Amino acid sequence: MGRKRLRLRGPRGGAEILSAAVVVLAVLVLAVRMAAAAADALKDAWPVLLALGLLAGAGVVWRFVQVAGGRRREAERLAVLRITMAEFDVMDDRQFEHALRDLLIRDGWPARRVGGGGDQAADVIGDHAQRGRIVVQAKHTRVGGKVGAPVMYAVKGTAGPAHRADHAVVVTNGAFTRDAMAWGDRHDVRWVDREKLRRWAENGTALHDLLGLSARSRKGRFKRAA
Task: Check whether residue 73 and residue 126 sit in a common domain.
Answer: no
Intra-chain end-to-end CA distance of the chain, in Å: 72
Question: What's the pLDDT score for residue 21?
Answer: 78
pLDDT above 70 covers a percentage of the chain that reads 77
189-218 tens-digit pLDDT: 999 999 999 999 999 999 999 999 876 545
Domain boundary among 30, 60, 80: 80
pTM value surpassing 0.85:
no
Asked whether residue 55 falls in the same domain as residue 91, the answer is no
Cα angle vertex 153, ends 148, 154, to 5°? 100
Distance in angstroms (rounded) separating the CA atoms of residues 217 and 190: 14
Whether 224 maps to a domain, the answer reads: no
115 with 179, same domain?
yes
Contacts of 191 (CB under 8 A, 6+ apart): 147, 152, 169, 170, 171, 172, 176, 180, 181, 184
pLDDT value at residue 132: 94
In the prediction, which pLDDT does 226 show? 35
Other C-beta atoms lying within 10 Å of the C-beta of residue 123: 24
* The total number of structural domains that make up the chain: 2
Does residue 225 form part of some domain? no
Greater confidence (97 vs 39) lies with 97
Q: Are residues 75 and 89 in the same domain?
A: no
Q: Is there a single domain that holds both residue 146 and residue 107?
A: yes
Does a structural domain hold residue 156? yes
Cβ–Cβ < 8 Å for 100, 218: no
* Domain coverage including residue 155: 85-211
What is residue 6's predicted lDDT score, i.e. its pLDDT? 59
Confidence of residue 224 (pLDDT cuts 50, 70, 90): very low
The 3-state secondary structure of 69-102 reads HHHHHHHHHHHCCCCCHHHHHCCCHHHHHHHHHH
